[in-house]
Amino acid sequence: MKNLTRLLVVAASFGVGLALSAQTPPAGGSGGSGGRRGHGGPGGPDGHGRGPGPIIRVLDVDQDHVISVGELANAPAAIRALDTNGDGSVSVGELRPARPANAPTPPSGAPARPEGARPRPLDPIMLALDVSRDGALSGSEITEAAAHLLALDGNGDGALTFDEFRPLPPTN
């Protein structure tokens, strides 16, 4: 009976240890609200199934969902990479490229999606960068990108965590 009890205790301890070792720690250090909190929903950090927007993709070089001090310092150069026509600014079309030719088409007879039917979340990154509120980034807005992005740094650590740049709920 003593051997059976010992065996059960060892097996339970092993099971608990195995379950705990399978847990992945939160990125960004200590966990809590300052670090990354999962992926934010299906498909990516912004919870829309498309992953992060083009600006986040070029800023977050190491794809850890934290815009580090070094990545912030490199923000103007990273954002200029989105300027595909070389005019010195990033237009709406460069931020939201046209649908790829190989993208699946909606089924025939499917109802058209009404324009403005569902408001889109507000993007704090674009709100910080697009000072003129025209939906595009001018050369001067790109040059000042690092300073404007630091305004989102709520905890003052010099980096932007997902909690600091996640999309805001739409306003009606």
Q: Is residue 58 part of a domain?
A: yes
Q: Is residue 51 part of a domain?
A: yes
Q: Is residue 109 part of a domain?
A: no
The predicted pLDDT at position 127 comes to 86
Buried b (16+ CB within 10 A) or exposed e, 52-90: bbbbbebbbeeeebbbbeebbebbeebbbebbeeeeebb
The predicted pLDDT at position 137 comes to 93
Q: Is residue 80 part of a domain?
A: yes
Q: Is residue 52 part of a domain?
A: yes
Q: Is residue 110 part of a domain?
A: no
Count: domains in the chain: 1
Residue 17 pLDDT grade (very low, low, confident, very high; cuts 50, 70, 90): low
How many CB atoms within 10 Å of residue 129? Answer: 22
**pTM of the full predicted structure?**
0.60
Q: Is residue 102 part of a domain?
A: no
Q: Is residue 14 part of a domain?
A: no
Number of residues that this document lists for the chain: 172
99-143 confidence digits (pLDDT tens) = 788 888 878 888 876 765 666 666 888 889 999 999 899 999 999
How many CB atoms within 10 Å of residue 115? Answer: 5
